[in-house]
Homo-oligomer: A and B are copies of this chain.
Amino acid sequence: MKQRKILLTEDEMPRQWYNILADIKMNPPLGPDGKPIGPEDLAPVFPMNLIEQEVSTERWIDIPEGILDVLSIWRPAPLFRAYNLEKALGTPARIYYKYEGYSPPGSHKPNTAVAQAYYNKEFGIKKLTTETGAGQWGSALAFACSQYGLECKVYMVRISFDQKPYRKSMMQTWGANCVASPSSETKAGRAILEKDPDTPGSLGIAISEAVEAAVSDESGQTRYSLGSVLNHVMLHQTIIGLEAKKQLEKIGEYPDIVIGCAGGGSNFAGLAFPFAHDVINGKEVAIYPVEPTACPTMTRAPFAYDHGDTAGYTPLLPMHSLGHTFVPPPLHAGGLRYHGMAPTVSQLIVDGIMEPKAFGQVETYEAGILCARTEGVIAAPETNHALACVIDEAKKAKEEGKEKVILFNWSGHGLIDLAAYDKFMSGQLEDFDFPADDIAEAEKVLEQYPKPEIIKNV
């Protein structure tokens, strides 16, 4: 029997996260006055111990015992050799994937949700607020808060709240309070509802509500939690890549190509940053973040300063952005519809350390079906983007007759996304064009902000 899984014991779990800020220089986040913001500016929103991580330039940051303990519910995650997919493609490439679908909510999101809940608890916080679109992040934070006895309030975009009642039930099973956004509980929500009582809501509105609910709690015991984009989120996810490195070492392998889907960037960064560290130190690894052609943040949008949210409440972040007013088409990959990209990932693209790729929706579902029928596992719609790129690279390796080692992140399972598979199989799923006009539009939106410096780290 061929060895399909490379496992680590709990004792072999990484004890430190890798912080890419030790290895690269970045443009700073800016406040409304166009000046760099400091830690204290973020204090009403996040607890100071997380803010310190956000700005830290220490290369290795210890993972507290109290986080490892909860992560051990599903970590270390297995590394799989995709023998069946290799065989189906007839490729000489050896394909490996890190599988993040074993976490209780089924994706990589709890890696940071658990850490954030822990640090907030340590800081004396009693309640976390957040927003969620499709529901992956909200359910991850609900799970994490239940583990540390924190209250959790999730503002879920109304259209998803109505269309995906199971996600709400999942959050409630873990004890979280999930309401449709806009809600009548916040000023921001009430203002929108007054204008348009039937609004489907948006992630931008939900963020505004969650931030408002956190900062306006007079007890001072509530904070806000974000599931992607920020440096500390990327940091917490690096356990994925650090585990993968150890696992590959055990069998004497090292990747030629590293692939992950990227919406805000967190699952991708989690796998890729430990390898980016090696590239910075002279190794040769091709690193591909993958996005939908219909939301081409990395492959087509400018590198600019922009807000993280639609309403423009957050600091200006230096990133690839389609403009914070961008409205993505109704893609069935809720996690890949964000207008921006994590500043760290954006900087590494500017550095040429990472080379983004984009795939059309239909091709990604074709990849998902092939992988379900070979590897056996039904992937999340986001993961399907990584799969499409993996298949593409494996085919190239076949054409070139090269025994390449491909490593990718299987960010989650798709068992709660089967409606999208159904649509694909019944021929109702389409590709969306991304008009050139939209880039001109983005450039116009971004014009009003300072330009980031073009820093080259390598």
A residues near B, CB below 8 A?
A: 1-5, 7, 9-10, 65, 68-70, 72-73, 84, 102, 104, 106, 143, 146-147, 165-166, 168-170, 172-175, 368-369, 372-373, 375-378, 415-416, 418-419, 421-422, 425
Given A3-B10, A10-B1, A174-B372, answer yes or no on A169-B377 (Cβ-Cβ < 8 Å).
no
The docked-state distance in angstroms from the alpha carbon of A274 to that of B173 is: 34
Chain B residues within an 8 Å CB radius of A69: 1-2, 4
B104 close to A102 (CB less than 8 A): no
| A143: B residues at CB distance < 8 A | 376
Q: Is the CB of B415 within 8 A of A369?
A: no
Number of copies: 2
Q: Please, which residue of chain B has its CB at the minimum distance from the CB of A101?
A: B102
Q: Kindly state the separation between the CA atoms of A424 and B174 in the bound complex, as whole angstroms.
A: 13
Contact yes or no, A418 B376, CB < 8 A: no
Question: Given the known A-B contacts A9-B7, A102-B102, A372-B146, are A378 and B170 also in contact in the complex, defined by CB atoms under 8 Å?
Answer: yes
Distance between Cα atoms of A5 and B369 in the complex (Å): 32
Chain B's closest residue to A365 (CB) is B173
Contacts of A174 in B (CB 8 A): 372-373, 378
Given contacts A165-B422, A372-B146, A376-B104, contact A72 B173 (CB under 8 A): no
Chain B residue at smallest Cβ distance from A172: B425
C-alpha gap A131/B322 in the complex (Å): 49
- CB contact between A146 and one of B166, B175, B373 (< 8 Å): that residue: B373
In whole angstroms, how far apart are the Cα atoms of A28 and B419 in the complex?
45
Complex contacts, A7 vs chain B, CB 8 Å:
7, 9
Taking CB atoms, residues of chain B closer than 8 Å to A425 are 169, 172-173
Complex: A232 Cα to B68 Cα, angstroms: 41
A7-B7, A65-B1, A416-B415 are contacts. A169–B422 as well, Cβ < 8 Å? yes
In the complex, which residues of chain B have a beta carbon less than 8 angstroms from the beta carbon of A416? 415-416
Q: In terms of DSSP, what is the predominant structure of the interface of chain A? A: helix
Which residues of B sit under 8 angstroms from A373, Cβ to Cβ?
Answer: 146, 173-175
Is the pair B166, A419 in contact by a Cβ cutoff of 8 Å? yes
CB distance from A413 to the nearest CB of B (A): 8
Q: Is the CB of A5 within 8 A of B72?
A: yes
- CB-CB under 8 A from A9, the residues of chain B are 7
Can you name 27 A-B pairs with beta carbons within 8 Å?
A1-B65, A1-B69, A1-B72, A3-B10, A4-B69, A7-B7, A7-B9, A73-B376, A84-B147, A104-B376, A104-B377, A104-B378, A146-B376, A165-B418, A166-B415, A166-B422, A168-B422, A169-B419, A169-B425, A170-B378, A170-B415, A170-B418, A172-B422, A173-B372, A173-B378, A173-B418, A415-B416
CB neighbours (8 Å) of A368 from chain B are 173
In the bound assembly, the distance between CA atoms of A38 and B10 in angstroms comes to 51
User: Which 8 pairs, one residue from A and one from B, show the smallest C-beta to C-beta distance?
Assistant: A169-B418, A169-B422, A166-B418, A4-B72, A146-B373, A104-B376, A73-B376, A173-B372
Contacts of A421 in B (CB 8 A): 169-170, 172-173
A170 to B373, CA, bound (A): 11
Whole-angstrom distance from the CB of A424 to the nearest CB of chain B? 9
Most central of A174, A378, A419 by chain B CB within 10 Å: A378
- Chain B residue numbers with a CB within 8 Å of A378 are 104, 170, 173-174
| Beta-carbon nearest neighbor of A9 in chain B | B7
A419: chain B residues within 8 A (beta carbon):
165-166, 169
**Which residue of chain B has the shortest Cβ distance to A106 in the bound complex?**
B415
Within 8 Å CB of A65, what residues of B?
1
> How far does the alpha carbon of A3 sit from the alpha carbon of B68 in the complex, in Å?
11
Contact residues in B for A168 (Cβ distance below 8 Å): 422
Chain B residue nearest to A375 (CB atoms) is B73
A18: shortest Cβ distance to chain B, in Å?
20
Q: In the complex, what distance in Å separates the CA atom of A9 from the CA atom of B418?
A: 31
- Contacting residue for A415 out of B5, B146, B175, B415, CB 8 A: B415
